[in-house]
Amino acid sequence: MSDLIDKLNSEFPAAGSSEFKMIDVKTSEYRFCLMQIIPLIQTNETRICIISTSRNGEKLLQELNKNKAGQKNVFVLSGIKSDNKSSNVKDYSPAWDINSLKDGISYAIKNFGTQLFVFDSVTNLSLFMKKEEINSFIQKFIAILKTRQIKAVFINIVEETPDDVVIAVEGLVDERLPLERFLGQKPVKKINQVTKQIKQQEKKPVQPTQKELKQTIDLKSLKKSLAQSIREEARKIAEETRKNLAITETKKQKSTEKKEVYKLENEKEKQSLLKKLDLLQKSFDLGVISKKAFEEGKKQIDAKMKEL
């Protein structure tokens, strides 16, 4: 990502700030949500770039034209290859390659003069990237756009996106709202402010109690209280034995805990991959991704499963 930042910083002039929204759509709404969103945000001939990991760019432009959304000021950066490309479509391949996506974004800014990005979608991105990778990518992506007064809309399929990914992205955008409220143009409070405030709060260190502070044994005082050296030696031996036993038991416990944690993390990762595979299958069944994209995504997920 640093390569993209350096490239953009060197090629494009910096400016003020931007606005960033995450729009929640239901699975049943996803197929046609762009036909509703694009006409609404394309005011004053705004130059819009749609970044789609799963839609064919040519077909998307055709659908927009049929729905009177227009093609003139819409550019599609697609993760699906197209043989008959228009000047307003650019493919990046493979869809899960973050470096090819970076190059596509740079191209859209430099050659199309993008004023607003529509990212379609955070959900599809979660098929190929972990939460930390998505968070880092979107955080740096937004930082770049802010310096150039470029706005962005992130589409989120609410039933399908992992909760931890949604929370992470919500903390980065200015506003999160459902599709119906966005289309209704109703004022919406920035509900992510509470999330940001919670993240900013630091836990206060827990101070030891007076009783805990007094638990330190003063060996010198104890020695003075013992009348016989034999009893003192016996106490030392017994205490040392207990310490050694405690250390051994602690090591065993930590070793067991590490194994359990590793096992749980593996199982959690496995369940996450299975969920992504299910989402990929649903996307293919709904017709929002091509068979090739489905097969490529499934191949990547199967490879990760074998690593577990």
Q: Do 44 and 165 belong to one domain?
A: yes
Residue 221 lies in a domain: yes
Is the domain of 31 the same as that of 150? yes
Instruction: Find tokens 């590490």 and name the residue.
Output: 258
146-184 burial, b at 16+ Cβ within 10 Å, e below that, comes to bbbebbbbbbbbbebbbeebbebbbbbbbbbbbbeebee
Token output for 299: 């191949």
User: Could you tell me if 36 and 122 lie in one domain?
Assistant: yes
> Residue 8 in contact with residue 111, Cβ under 8 Å?
no
Do 250 and 123 reside in the same domain of the chain? no
In the listed set 199, 233, 250, which residue is the last one of a domain according to the structure? 199
Closest residue by Cα to residue 55 from 35, 81, 86, 83 = 81
Residue labelled with tokens 């050694």 = 244
Q: Are 184 and 239 members of one domain?
A: no
- Give the relative orientation of helices 131-146 and 98-112 as an angle to the nearest 10 degrees: 20
Question: Which of 172, 199, 226 is the C-terminal boundary of a domain?
Answer: 199
- Domain of 42: which CATH number? 3.40.50.300
For every one of its 308 residues, what pLDDT tens digit does the chain have, with 9 covering 90 and above?
556 655 555 444 444 344 899 999 999 999 889 989 998 888 778 899 999 988 888 889 888 888 665 567 899 999 888 776 788 999 887 777 788 888 999 999 999 999 999 999 899 888 888 889 999 999 999 999 999 999 999 999 999 999 999 999 999 999 999 999 998 854 333 333 333 443 444 444 444 444 444 443 444 444 455 445 556 665 666 677 677 777 777 777 767 766 676 777 778 888 887 888 888 788 878 777 778 878 888 888 888 878 77
Same domain as 67, residue 139: yes
**What are the distances in angstroms from CA 221 to CA 84, 111, 138, 192?**
89, 81, 61, 58
* 30 beta partners: none
pTM above 0.85, yes or no: no
Contacts with 104 (C-beta within 8 Å, 6 or more apart), sequence order: 51, 77, 90, 92
Whole-number CA gyration radius for the chain: 28
Range(s) of the domain holding residue 270: 217-307
Q: Do 177 and 37 fall within a single domain?
A: yes
The one-letter code for the residue type at 130 is K
Counted domains in the chain = 2
The tokens for 242 are: 């207990």
Name the DSSP class of 150: -
Is 145 found in the same domain as 34? yes
